Amino acid sequence: MAIVILAFAAFLLFDMNSVILRSKTLQILFPLGVLLLLIATITEVNTAYWQTAPLESIDYVWLALSAIHTILLVYALFFAIPFSESYTDSINVGSRTVTRTGLYGICRHPGVWFLAFALFFLALAMSTLRMWLFVGLVSFFNLLYALFQDLWTFPRIFSDYNDYRQSVPFLLPRLRKRL
């Protein structure tokens, strides 16, 4: 589970670099964090698999729901917002504005929900105490990371973030637009 801490440390350092240092070399930190989180998840799934085998004890409905939320997470992070401005060319971009459409018009951090549900359903499929602790740890760090982005990173990166913060809720989705 130490890999989880390293993953979120990489995410935090990526954000700090995007605002303060703006080093092209350090932009590797975001994909590194994703890779570390993926390795941690695969490790926990492997451990849970051997504790919940035979296969009859694994609930495939929960695995399917986990896969759906993983796809939604990938969509929210890499397709619902401009990829190059967010992850690859973020240090060379001037003043940026927030994406307010689609998922990001419903709440400011939809990825928090998708990651939490993907892991929650994974833990339901392969229920072990260790897996539930992993889900709690990752969800907790992800929530802290979203708070960090909301309070520190995004107001410094997006020129209209304070207005966006007033019009779109943090996590609890707004299901209809304000008039």
Instruction: Work out the angle between the directed axes of helices 29-52 and 2-16 (0-180°, nearest 10).
Output: 160
Question: Which of 46-50, 108-112, 115-119 is predicted with the least confidence, judged by mean pLDDT?
Answer: 46-50
Which residues are CB-contacts of 59 (< 8 A; sequence separation ≥ 6)? Answer: 124, 125
- The pLDDT tens digits of the residues spanning 29-82 come to 999 999 999 999 999 999 998 887 666 667 889 999 999 999 999 999 999 887
Q: Which percentage of the chain shows pLDDT scores above 70?
A: 87
Domain boundaries, the chain: 49-167
DSSP code of residue 53: -
Residue 179 has a pLDDT of 45
